[in-house]
Amino acid sequence: MYLSVLLNPNAGGVAHGYGLKRAMERVCKDQGIRCDFLTSFEPDLIPSNAILVCCGGDGTVSLLIQKMCQLRVSRPFCVVPLGTGNDFARATGWYNVWKYWGVEGVITGIRASKCRTLDVWGLEGEGGYESRFCAYMGLGADGEILRVYHRLATSLRCLTLSAGQKRLYHVVAALIFLCSKGLSMRARHNVPIEVSSPGGRFRETVKLGIGGCLVFSNIEYYLGGMKLLDTASFNDGQIELTHIKGLLSLALKGRLRRKKGVNALLDRMGRFGSLLINVPKGVFAETDGEPLGLLAPGGYTIGLDASLPVLIPPKYLLAKERATEREILKKKETGKIFVPEPSFY
């Protein structure tokens, strides 16, 4: 088995990243696994039979996905969650593997994993504008709060902080958003956004309101571990549309596990194979936890852009009580992983 480890040194703090590298080298050497480390996806440097281990958060996964789609080349990959939210790692199961079993569990999970396809969605607009996402896209308050956060993090040079410290900066960014915009944002956030299906069977005009947002979800998790949806599949060719009426209230009630209060803030509008969006005025957007900036007025299309291979760990690794550490480390699954062919649309 050959592993190419794509390591984001800034995710989880610099010390965490280098500590992971040393631990991965030790475990791979003990198990006779070839392993190399990269800081970006370069197909020429990665053997065709290699498995990618993406070490970082949702933003690192998003960059990897976008690079694969741009180059129209892919490798099967898994995720070591070192980011702030790690929603994609939660949806694919690798978050629990890392949490309960560490590096040894990740290697065992790769050996015993099954390969599935991952839907990658594209956002296309007028003038050749395009972007991609694999977890979710948001329009409205979440896009602006992330923009404030990245400006704050860049100016204070805190991009290399730990995940917990970055979460505090997200809270600060949300407070800055509330204090600096307030009622002056009412006009912008009350801009009606028209969403429709290509066949015209669905058509809805949504006014976001202050603190509201539209979320297009390919997975069930959002906001760093909160379950926005009861069930979701990242490979069924469908995307879930949800109107969040108050993002900051949702984040607070979600952390307090007040399910009734959470449901009152959500308007689940259905699942679709593709969607048309009309933005009469500029609105802030984000994809996979990374800010896109201000979307220009005009029409946009969301549709399936690619299907890429992703590894899913075995169920016995997803909960600590299901297996003892001795049983986990004795697992010797070395069967060949069947990798489906990627599709680019």
Same-domain check for residues 151 and 274: yes
Identity of residue 89: A
Percent residues over pLDDT 90 in the chain: 32
- Say yes or no: 131 and 252 in one domain: yes
Are 95 and 24 in the same domain?
yes
pLDDT at 324: 53
Confidence at residue 319, expressed as pLDDT on a 0 to 100 scale: 75
Q: Are residues 128 and 259 in the same domain?
A: yes
Check residue 84 and give its pLDDT.
84
pLDDT at 326 over 50: no
When divided into structural domains, the chain yields a total of: 2
Cα distance between residue 9 and residue 276, in whole Å: 38
> Which pLDDT does position 274 carry in this prediction?
94
Same domain? For 258 and 336 the reply is no
pLDDT at 140 over 80: yes
Question: Burial level of 316, CB count in 10 A (0-12/13-18/19+)?
Answer: middle
Verify that 104 and 132 share a domain, yes or no: no
Residues 76 and 127 in one domain: no
Residue 253 sits in the same domain as residue 282: yes
pLDDT digit string, tens, across residues 197-253: 998 889 999 988 777 889 999 999 988 888 888 777 899 999 999 998 877 777 766
Backbone angles phi, psi at 99, to 5 degrees: -65, -40
Please indicate, yes or no, whether residues 205 and 299 belong to a single structural domain of this protein.
Answer: yes
| pLDDT tens sequence across 6-33 | 887 766 554 466 678 888 888 888 888 8
For 322, the domain range is: 2-120+306-344
Q: So what's the pLDDT on residue 344?
A: 60
Dihedral of CA 281/299/141/57: which sign? Answer: negative
152-199 per-position pLDDT tens digit:
877 766 656 666 777 777 778 878 777 766 544 444 456 789 999 998
Q: What percent of the chain is predicted at pLDDT more than 70?
A: 80
What pLDDT score does 183 carry?
A: 46
User: Rounded mean pLDDT of the chain?
Assistant: 82
Residue ending a domain, among 305, 321, 336, is: 305
231 shares its domain with 266: yes
Residue 85 and residue 156 in one domain: no
Q: What is the CATH number of the domain that holds 320?
A: 3.40.50.10330
Q: Identify whether residues 290 and 332 lie together within a single domain.
A: no
Q: How confident is the model at residue 139 (pLDDT cuts 50, 70, 90)?
A: very high
> What's phi and psi for 206, nearest 5 deg?
-115, 130
What are the C-alpha distances in Å from 60 to residues 137, 153, 344? Answer: 15, 17, 21
Question: 340 CB contacts (<8 Å, ≥6 apart)?
Answer: 115, 116, 117, 307, 309
* pLDDT tens digits along 90-130: 999 999 999 988 898 899 899 889 999 999 999 998 777 88
CATH number of the domain enclosing 128: 2.60.200.40
